Structure 1
Amino acid sequence: MPNVTINDIARCAGVSKATVSRVLNHPDVVDEKTRKTVQRVMEEKNYRPSVTARNLSNRKSSTIGVILPQVDNMFFGEMLRGMIHVADKNELTIMCFNSDDSKKKDLQTLEILAGHRVRGLIYVPAVSYEEKNERKVLNRYLRTLDAPVVIADRNIDLPVDGVFFDDSAAMYEATREVIEAGHTRIAIINGTQERVLGRQRQSGFERAVEEAGLTIPEEYIMLGDYSIQSAYMMTKEMMKLPVQPTAVITCNNDTTKGFLEAVYESGRSIPLDYKNVSLDKMEMLNILGIPYNYIERDAYQMGQKALEQLINRIAFPDRAYRHIIIESPFVKQSL
């Protein structure tokens, strides 16, 4: 199918090419009825305006800011690759920053990006910003950007576009699969409950357990900081328990790494001694042919959709905010 041009939009909307250009570049000078008609036609035709051309006319940067909490985490590395794929197709440049899951660095980076006058921001927040004063500070920093924002992965309930997984539902379904396979002694290695994601994952696990009428010992509930070291230390302590769990759910790829390191260091293994359910695929286990189970969250797709959302927001600044939920299926190999 040939690309839709600005002339096609003008013809279908019954306006001049100049009017379409004004809707794209200076929508505030076009009357509301005409503007909405043109924008509706653009959406119907799936029109993708040239970001580069618009940047030249608006004298705005073609740089997209990205803030990630852990660039060395392969999940976020995949997310970044997805963004770069879309950026390359749209002649955009990615400027990526690592917050190290630090609120202080998060806010410092927002201040830096405001100075660079980025075209837009894809933002994975370091913390949940749930306290009223924290949220005020965050909103003030975001306003200084004077650019559209898309939140990815960690929903902090802002009036902006977003792309997320439903981790609570995914964890619920995975835990149900474990229970239906006959396991009653189920451990979970999760992260801090001060973060929304940690609570969502925990709530999905607990809902499945409660529905099944199971009681999980407190020592099977391991809450750390989502790091390899934290998961490693908690697994070492778990393996000292007189009654061992038969299945262990690990709530991100770093907790899975820490769990596996401790298990194999002790001379035990999966799936012989423990069945493992990992939140996120572990490519190395697939390469080695070690059977495990996982919730498949496509970080690459999340990165693509996040930047596509941002490009659409730049093209249609007045449309309603949208949240995209990406499915995360359970993959069973050995339960």
Structure 2
Amino acid sequence: MEKKNLHSSSVTVADVARHANVSKSTAARVLGGYGVTSEKVRERVQASAKALKYRPNELARSMTTGKSKTIGVVVGDIENSFFGIAVRSITDVANAHGFNVILANSDENFDVEREAVNVLVGKQVDGLIVTPASRYEIGHLENLKSENCKVVLFDREIPSLDMDTVVSDDQEAAAAVTKQLLDAGHCRLAFVTATEEKDSDADGALHIPTSSVGRRIEGFLTACNEGGIAREDSLIVLNSDPKAGLGVSISKMLDQPNRPTAILASDSHVALEIFKQAQERNIEMPSQLSLIAFHNADWTEVTRPAITVVDQPVAQMGRWSAEQLIKRIEGCTEPALRHVMKMKVINRQSVVPPA
């Protein structure tokens, strides 16, 4: 009899069963990893599956088991090394537990994030790790509870949602490094972030959509206030022109006559833009401008001066989020956890007393 010409994409459990000379139910038990079979039969079925280049039908398996063995991850900016390190840690943990990862980039845009979440849920992922672009627009995340999709919030929290969350001690760390700048003698300080302001109250209170940046601003302003620095001398520089980018706001800040003598950057991308623009203007660092950045990006070690940074335990945060999500997928029902990880300051050469 002429053998059927099979391609790996079309090989079925029945094909493997015929090749191994066993029943379809026996082949299904071996390939699905459930039930009891003898070692000899299991080896024969596995050898046939390998010979035929059998690939499991993930959709069919998910319909049988109720699980796709897939995790969705939605981050703000995959070009940011912070998220790159996080995704690597998440993937390592997921793979070790037999899960695959589907990655989506929101570009810090709520509408894009919502669509990504909907697509991933449509693909029947078992759970999601999400870095929310906004702590105000959360309807799509609230809906996940009714769909029984497990969720862990990464780096940013939404207190009104009863979801597992891993964050850093942003407010405490920002206050500590701001005090470091004040202790060095700086009186004209700025906090710079690429985050856009949602709106502000009549009294000038800021509404920052990104919770981690919001906490850092709170820490910065608290330290300035405790150090006797007037609010007008504590600049908060936001991305005022999203289409043009943060560079416009940084240019305005550096070109003013009484520019800051010290800057705290909300992340390494912001710090790099500040560094570049300072060089273009021949502003000497650190003698004319001190700089501290959140996140220990590789470039911060090789510049002159090397940049003092607030180092986030991003790899550990990624591992925790993946491990916690998998625990939920496997049936853990303990109350939602808020896990806070401590950051540390790495002092280099970018902070000196003002000239």
Give the TM-score category using the shorter length. Answer: 0.7 to 0.9
Matched, 1:71 2:108: no
* CA distance in 2 between partners of 1:83 and 1:244 (Å): 41
* Corresponding residue of 1:291: 306
Match for 1:116: what amino acid?
A: K
Q: Deviations 1:57-107 (Å, cap 9, x if unpaired)? A: 734111111111211111111110111111222121001111122221222
Q: Do the aligned residues in 2 keep the contact of 1:228 with 1:255 (CA within 8 Å)?
A: no
* Corresponding residue of 1:41: none
**Partner residue of 1:127 out of 134, 141, 144:** 134
Pair 59,217 (structure 1): closer, same or farther in 2 beyond 3 Å: closer
* CA distance in 2 between partners of 1:219 and 1:288 (Å): 26
Pair 91,105 (structure 1): closer, same or farther in 2 beyond 3 Å: same
**Partner residue of 2:256 out of 215, 219, 241:** 241
Identify which range, 269-278 or 63-72, moves more after superposition: 269-278
**Partner residue of 1:184 out of 183, 187, 191:** 187
* CA distance in 1 between partners of 2:105 and 2:96 (Å): 24
Shift of 1:217: 3.0
Alignment map for 1:170-249 (pairs within 5 Å): 170-190=173-193, 191=195, 192=197, 193-195=207-209, 196-217=211-232, 220-224=235-239, 230-249=245-264
Shift of 1:235: 2.5
Q: Do the aligned residues in 1 keep the contact of 2:221 with 2:234 (CA within 8 Å)?
A: no
* CA distance in 1 between partners of 2:66 and 2:257 (Å): 67
Alignment map for 1:34-73 (pairs within 5 Å): 58-73=65-80
* Corresponding residue of 1:304: 319
**Partner residue of 1:116 out of 112, 123, 129:** 123
Q: Deviations 1:107-140 (Å, cap 9, x if unpaired)? A: 2122212221111111111211x2xxx4445412
Alignment map for 1:97-176 (pairs within 5 Å): 97-128=104-135, 130=136, 134-140=137-143, 142-143=144-145, 145-157=147-159, 158-176=161-179
Match for 1:329: what amino acid?
A: K
Unmatched segments (≥5 aa) in structure 1: 1-53
Give the alignment's Cα RMSD to 1 decimal.
Answer: 2.6
Query: Aligned with 2:263: secondary structure?
Result: strand
Identify which range, 313-322 or 300-309, moves more after superposition: 313-322
**Partner residue of 1:92 out of 88, 92, 99:** 99
Match for 2:187: what amino acid?
A: T
Pair 73,226 (structure 1): closer, same or farther in 2 beyond 3 Å: farther
Match for 1:215: what amino acid?
A: A
* Corresponding residue of 1:277: 292
Q: Do the aligned residues in 1 keep the contact of 2:268 with 2:293 (CA within 8 Å)?
A: yes
Shift of 1:260: 1.1
TM-score with structure 2 setting the length: 0.72
Q: Deviations 1:208-260 (Å, cap 9, x if unpaired)? A: 01111112535833122798964422232222222232211111122112111
* Corresponding residue of 2:36: none
Larger radius of gyration: 2
Pair 235,296 (structure 1): closer, same or farther in 2 beyond 3 Å: same
Query: Aligned with 1:91: secondary structure?
Result: coil
Q: Deviations 1:252-301 (Å, cap 9, x if unpaired)? A: 12211211111111122322321101011131131345332111112222
* CA distance in 2 between partners of 1:145 and 1:263 (Å): 50
Shift of 1:173: 0.9
**Partner residue of 2:88 out of 73, 77, 81:** 81
* CA distance in 2 between partners of 1:329 and 1:122 (Å): 25
Match for 2:177: what amino acid?
A: A
* Corresponding residue of 1:257: 272
* Corresponding residue of 2:57: none
* CA distance in 1 between partners of 2:235 and 2:219 (Å): 16
* Corresponding residue of 1:320: 335
- Corresponding residue pairs, total: 278
* CA distance in 2 between partners of 1:243 and 1:194 (Å): 26
Percent of residue pairs identical: 25
Q: Deviations 1:167-213 (Å, cap 9, x if unpaired)? A: 11111111111111222221221333431333211110110011111
